[in-house]
Chains A and B, each alone.
Chain A
Amino acid sequence: MVLASVLVILLVLLPLLQMVTGPTLSNLADAFKDPDVRGAVGLSLATSFGSATICLVFGTPFAYLLARKNFRGKHLVESIVDLPIMIPHPVIGIAFLGIAGKGHLIGDALHALGIRIMGTTTGIVAVLTFVGLPFFIGSAVSGFKKVPERQEHVARSLGASFAQTFVRVTLPLAWRSILVGFIMSAARALSEFGAVIIVAYHPMTAPVMVYERFTAYGLAYSQPVAVWLIAASLLLFIMLRVLTLRGETPE
């Protein structure tokens, strides 16, 4: 049992340790100074947080509905929400290009509105929202479920409207799970490669750049970019752990 545990930990840690200890400090500094690298990491962060914000805005009311209401077909809706986790990500990219292309009803409407998916930041944000949504919804639903419905009932009977109850009772009790969902969806989006490379090779996100440098110049050139990507992911991971651990500590 102990041996299996050690092996699992090593499997996770060794490649990452090799990755961060591989490049020299000057390699990392050079990579950081490289405007292409900074642009790619910046674009990855911006599109990831952009998609997480869309998840937050549209996913919060949806998650509340799933947590509070029972309706016919609820299990089907929950399955649809989880579907992006199971679908191979290049397939997601191809599916998005399929509906956004000319000749498709949605594609024609998007073209008429001047919205392009292929090779644009919009396209990147669209697929990142798709892959991040289940992580946000899952966490937000569990957060809302932890708020006893009776507390909302009491607030309503004391004179608070639905919106006032949500702001004064539900949100203060569920914010941690919502924020965890936000960070998880952003972290998932930050690491997305398969769907993004189909929809937009350019503008180049950090994972696509790691791939491009690896195929064009080899391992040594791809590692510094990868380390910066790991650093950004690690930052999100630490935020997530701090939030989760504080949530578990009784107040």
Chain B
Amino acid sequence: MIDIAHLSIRLPDFSVQNISLTIESGDFFVLLGPTGAGKSLILEAIAGLVPIATGSICLHGTEITHLPPEKRDLAIVYQDGALFPHLTVEANIAFGLRYKKKEVPDPDSQVQHLMERLGISHLKNRKPATLSGGEKQRTALARALAVKPKILLLDEPLSALDPTTRADITELLSELHKEENMTCLMVTHDFAEAQSLSNAMAVINNGRIEQSGPTHTLFHHPETPFVARFLGVTKKLKSVPPAAVPGAKRLKS
């Protein structure tokens, strides 16, 4: 479980204010919001890559707010994969394993297993520059999963992909989440992605949480016009009981 309390981040031209979230173990949690809302900043703050102004972050009951990124047991996957261009696919996946000897005692079989599971064994000697978008993202996922993180952080992992590859990777993410029972925190601006992958979510706008909760609750009961608009709920009619309107008759179908 990850517990974020009153998190604030202050940059010269932008700030994220008073973010409080609880992500349960095994959740696929989505931070949804428009571009520039501050959702990627929150993700990087959780990873320890951006300094926070106030607040605390607890992972499984242990405070990690002031730990350096390498001590947090989290792994991040970016939109473009951010693969190391000087290393082969296999070396990219194995990158973090020398720091995780306790968690992964047999790094070679871990790398082989992940390459097979993600269908990239045939690419193991290739450099990232020669890979397609989908292959890059599969490699980036394998590299993150290799270190067995307590939480997988996904920063718009689907937005740079073509529609077919996006559907493939969405399915893969869903399968991996179920197989590994992994806690995932994904940032996206696409409500369809959020709906298909998440069981819980928060809608962020201009550095603040507009609403958070189970995914179906947000889609069926948006609390603010912004959330309703952003989730694609274009019109909401208020029902009025016939008795409240003088002279009104109920139509029979």
**In the complex the two chains form, is A153's CB within 8 Å of B82's CB?**
yes
Which of these, B47, B83, B86, contacts A157 with CB under 8 Å?
A: B47
Q: Which of the four size classes fits the interface of chain B? A: 20 to 34
Instruction: Tell me if A158 and B86 are in contact (CB < 8 A).
Output: no
Q: Evaluate whether A150 and B80 lie within 8 angstroms (CB atoms) in the complex, with A156-B69, A157-B47 already known.
A: yes
- The answer to the question of A250 belonging to the interface, with a C-beta cut-off of 8 Å to chain B, is yes
Collect the chain A residues with CB atoms within 8 Å of residue B83's CB.
151
User: Roughly how many angstroms separate A250 CA and B84 CA in the complex, as a whole number?
Assistant: 15
Q: A159-B70, A251-B127 are in contact. Are A154 and B78 (CB under 8 A)?
A: yes
Q: How far is the CB of A95 from chain B (nearest CB, A)?
A: 37
A169 interfacial by beta-carbon distance below 8 Å? yes
Closest beta carbon of chain A to B26's beta carbon, Å: 21
* Contact call B75/A158, Cβ cutoff below 8 A: yes
B55 contact set on A, CB distance < 8 A: none
Kindly state whether residue A160 has any CB partner on chain B within 8 Å: yes
Distance between A221 CB and nearest chain B CB, rounded to angstroms: 51
Q: Is B32 an interface residue (CB 8 A)?
A: no
Residue pair B74, A157 in contact (C-beta under 8 Å): yes
Measured CA separation A162–B140 after assembly (Å)? 20
**CB–CB B129/A158 < 8 A:** no
Contact with A along B128-141 (1 / 0, CB 8 A): 01000000000010
- B158 at interface by CB-CB < 8 Å: no
B100 touches A159 (CB 8 A): yes
Is the C-beta of B208 less than 8 angstroms from some C-beta in chain A?
A: no
User: Do A153 and B69 have beta carbons less than 8 Å apart?
Assistant: yes
Which residues of chain B come closer than 8 Å to A173, judged between CB atoms? Answer: 85-86
Report which residue of A153, A155, A164, A250 has the largest number of chain B beta carbons within 10 angstroms of its beta carbon: A153
Q: Is the CB of B85 within 8 A of A157?
A: no
Is B247 interfacial (CB-CB < 8 Å)? Answer: no
Cβ-based interface call for A35 (8 A): no
Q: Are A150 and B86 in contact (CB under 8 A)?
A: no
- Contact partner, A158, options B48, B68, B85, B147, Cβ 8 Å: B147
B72 touches A157 (CB 8 A): yes
Verify A159–B99 contact, CB threshold 8 A: yes
**A162 CB contacts on chain B under 8 angstroms:** 68
Interface of A is mostly: helix
Q: How far is the CB of A132 from chain B (nearest CB, A)?
A: 28
- Chain B residues with CB below 8 A from A15, complex form: none
User: Is residue B107 within 8 Å, beta carbon to beta carbon, of the partner chain?
Assistant: no
Give the residues in chain A near B74, CB-CB below 8 Å. 157
Check B231 for interface membership: any CB of A closer than 8 A: no
- Chain B residues within an 8 Å CB radius of A155: 84, 95-96
B143 part of interface (Cβ distance < 8 Å): yes
Q: List, in ascending order, chain A residues with CB within 8 A of B153's CB.
A: 157
Residues of chain A within 8 A (CB-CB) of B95 are 155, 158, 160, 168
User: Which residues 140-191 in B have Cβ within 8 Å of A in the complex?
Assistant: 140, 143-144, 147, 149, 153
A159 contacts which chain B residues (CB < 8 A)? 70, 96, 98-100, 147
B82 in contact with A154 (CB, 8 Å)? yes
Interface centre among B76, B80, B127 (most CB of A within 10 A): B76
Complex CA distance for A162 and B86, rounded to whole angstroms: 18
Decide if A88 is an interface residue (CB 8 Å cutoff).
Answer: no
User: Is the pair A160, B99 in contact by a Cβ cutoff of 8 Å?
Assistant: yes
B68/A153 in contact, CB under 8 A = no
Nearest B residue to A172 via CB reads B86
User: Does A103 lie at the interface of the complex (its beta carbon under 8 Å from any beta carbon of B)?
Assistant: no
**B147, A154: Cβ atoms under 8 Å?**
no
Report A-chain residues with C-beta under 8 Å of the C-beta of B129: 250-251
Contact status B86-A160, CB under 8 Å: no
Greatest chain A CB density within 10 A among B70, B85, B96 is at B70
Q: How far is the CA of A159 from the CA of B223 in the complex (A)?
A: 40
CB distance from B47 to the nearest CB of A (A): 5
In chain A between 159 and 181, which residues have their CB closer than 8 angstroms to a CB of chain B? 159-162, 164, 168-169, 172-173
Which positions 204-226 of chain A face chain B at CB distance < 8 Å?
Answer: none
- Is B233 an interface position by the 8 A CB rule? no
Give per-residue flags for A120-161: 1 if the beta carbon is below 8 A from chain B beta carbons, else 0.
000000000000000000000000000010110111111111
Binding site for A on B (CB under 8 A): 44, 47-49, 68-70, 72, 74-78, 80, 82-86, 95-96, 98-100, 127, 129, 140, 143-144, 147, 149, 153
What are 7 A-B interface contacts by the 8 Å CB criterion? A153-B44, A153-B49, A154-B82, A157-B149, A158-B96, A160-B95, A173-B86
User: A residues bordering B, Cβ < 8 Å?
Assistant: 148, 150-151, 153-162, 164, 168-169, 172-173, 250-251
